[in-house]
Amino acid sequence: MFYQGKSKVLPHLFQPFHLGKLELRNRLVMPPMVTFLVNESGGVTQRMIDYYAERARGGVGLITIESAYVLEKDRDMGRLGIENPQLLVGLNELAEAIQEEGPELFSSSTTGGASSVSIRGKGRTS
Ligand SMILES: Cc1cc2nc3c(=O)[nH]c(=O)nc-3n(C[C@H](O)[C@H](O)[C@H](O)COP(=O)(O)O)c2cc1C
């Protein structure tokens, strides 16, 4: 069970918070951090689900999952992908596992941009 009381130093920290239409159970936010827990296709793994579910159980109000690439050309070893429909099945499972524990969920996506360099040895990606 996570802490739900009042902090003397930060009295609002553990109080619910409205963020637009979302009601967060507190003001603790987990920022996006790459975990390298994806499979070779950039898909969600059970280990990744377990990792985020554990953080969700820990009591934060909002989890931002690690940044995901949106274009196949930006696929790097270890990065989460959202660039094709097959990956959505795992992402759905991940979202459900997190929200079942209480926190809201944001996703973040990135693109390498027009002048990015691929670490897979193909040079510029555009
Ligand atoms: C191991 C690690 C992985 C990270 N991965 C991401 C990421 O996937 N996306 C992102 O936007 N920021 C990422 N960050 C940046 C963190 O979200 C950032 O450090 C955090 O918001 C705290 O901000 P601060 O470093 O300015 O204190 C990562 C940071 C670390 C240490």
The residue to mutate among 34, 80, 111, having the most atoms of ligand 1 within 8 angstroms of its beta carbon, is 34
Q: Whose CA is nearest to atom 10 of ligand 1?
A: 32
Written as six digits, the tokens of 117 are 């360099």
Confidence of residue 7 (pLDDT cuts 50, 70, 90): confident
DSSP assignment of 16-84 equals -EEETTEEESSS-EEPP-------TTS---HHHHHHHHHHHHHT-SEEEPPPEE-SGGG--TT-EE-SS
Q: Where are the domains of the chain?
A: 23-110
Residue 126 pLDDT > 50: no
- Name the pairing type of β-strands 68-69 and 80-81: parallel
Number of CB atoms found within 10 A of residue 73's CB: 15
pLDDT tens digits for range 57-90: 999 999 999 999 998 888 877 899 998 999 999 9
pLDDT band at 2 (very low <50, low <70, confident <90, very high): low
Checking if the pLDDT of 95 tops 90, the result is yes
Half-sphere exposure (CA, 13 Å, Cβ side) for 91? 23
Tokens, residue 31: 């920022």
Report how far residue 35's alpha carbon sits from residue 4's, in angstroms, rounded to the nearest whole number: 28
Tell me the CATH number for domain 23-110: 3.30.750
For ligand 1, pick from 33, 48, 52, 109 the residue to mutate: most ligand atoms within 8 Å of CB.
33
What predicted TM-score, i.e. pTM, was given to this entire model? 0.86
Which has the higher per-residue pLDDT, 99 or 126?
99
